[in-house]
C-alpha cells in the first residue's frame, strides 16, 4: 500500500517534470514561429539621403551627372543600389538635382551643351536647365530630388523618400 502511494507520487512528479519541459520546448519553438507568422513584415526603406560628392566639384550653371549609392533596408537585408542625378548649381549654395530618368517612359537623357537643353534620345523630349518641358512627348517636368548641403557635401534624397517624408509630416 505504501509502495503504491510512493509509486503514484513518483509518477506525478515525473509527469510534472515532463509537462514542464514540454511547455518550455513548445514556447521556445512556438514563440519565434508566432512572431514570424503574426507580425507584419517590415517595409523596405532606404537610408534617406545619399552622398553625391563635393559641391565644389560641380561647375556653376553647367549640368553635371553625378553617381551615388543608395542603401535600402529590407527586413534584415541591406542592399546598396547605384543611382545617378543631373545636378545644376545655380550659385555657391543653390543646387537643383534631377532624376536621370525621362518623365515620358524613363529613358536616360543627357545634357546637350550646344543647344543648352536636356535631350532624351528615345522619343525626342527636351527639357530646359530648370527641368521644364520644351518639347514632348514628356508629360511633365523632370522629377527633382530633395537636396541638402552640409559643409561642402551634397546630399540627395530619393523622390520616394520625399513623398514618404511628406506623408509622415
Nearer to ligand FES, 10 or 65 (CB): 65
One residue of 123, 130, 150, 152 binding ligand FES per CB under 6 A: 123
Q: Does 78 sit near ligand FES (CB under 6 A)?
A: no
Cα gap 54→149, rounded to integer Å: 9
Gap between the Cα atoms of 82 and 50, Å rounded: 10
* Element counts in the chain: helices (H) and strands (E): 2, 12
Q: Is there a contact between 148 and 49 (Cβ–Cβ < 8 Å)?
A: yes
> Which of 71, 84, 107, 129: binder of ligand FES (CB under 6 A)?
107
Gap between the Cα atoms of 26 and 20, Å rounded: 10
Asked if residue 142 binds ligand FES (CB under 6 A), the reply is no
SS (H, E, C) 16-54: HHHHHHHHHHHHHHHHHHHHHHHCCCCCCEECCEEEEEE
Q: Should residue 21 be labelled a site residue for ligand FES when binding is judged by CB under 6 A?
A: no
> Judged by CB, which is closer to ligand FES: 53, or 141?
141
C-alpha cell at 83: 543611382
Q: Which is nearer to ligand FES, 96 or 125 (CB)?
A: 125
58 binds ligand FES (CB under 6 A): no
Question: Of the candidates 99, 104, 127, 131, which one interacts with ligand FES according to CB under 6 A?
Answer: 104
Contact in structure between 81 and 69 (CB atoms under 8 Å): yes
Considering only residues 52, 88, 138, 156, which one is a binding residue for ligand FES as defined by CB under 6 A?
138
Q: Quick check: 164 binds ligand FES (CB under 6 A)?
A: no
Residues that bind ligand FES (CB under 6 A): 102, 104-105, 107, 120, 122-125, 137-138
Amino acid at each position: 500500500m505504501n509502495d503504491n502511494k510512493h509509486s503514484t507520487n513518483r509518477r506525478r512528479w515525473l509527469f510534472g517534470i515532463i509537462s514542464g519541459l514540454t511547455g518550455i520546448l513548445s514556447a521556445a519553438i512556438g514563440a519565434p514561429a508566432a512572431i514570424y507568422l503574426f507580425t507584419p513584415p517590415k517595409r523596405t526603406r532606404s537610408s534617406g539621403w545619399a552622398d553625391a560628392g563635393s559641391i565644389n566639384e560641380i561647375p556653376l550653371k553647367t549640368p553635371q551627372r553625378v553617381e551615388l549609392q543608395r542603401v535600402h533596408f529590407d527586413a534584415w537585408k541591406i542592399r546598396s543600389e547605384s543611382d545617378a542625378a543631373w545636378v545644376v548649381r545655380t550659385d555657391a549654395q543653390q543646387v537643383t538635382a534631377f532624376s536621370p530618368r525621362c518623365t515620358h517612359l524613363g529613358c536616360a537623357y543627357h545634357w546637350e551643351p550646344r543647344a543648352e537643353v536636356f535631350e532624351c534620345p528615345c522619343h525626342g523630349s527636351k527639357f530646359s536647365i530648370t527641368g521644364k518641358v520644351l518639347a514632348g512627348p514628356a508629360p511633365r517636368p523632370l522629377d527633382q530630388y530633395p537636396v541638402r548641403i552640409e559643409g561642402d557635401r551634397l546630399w540627395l534624397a530619393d523622390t520616394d523618400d520625399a513623398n514618404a517624408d511628406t506623408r509622415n509630416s
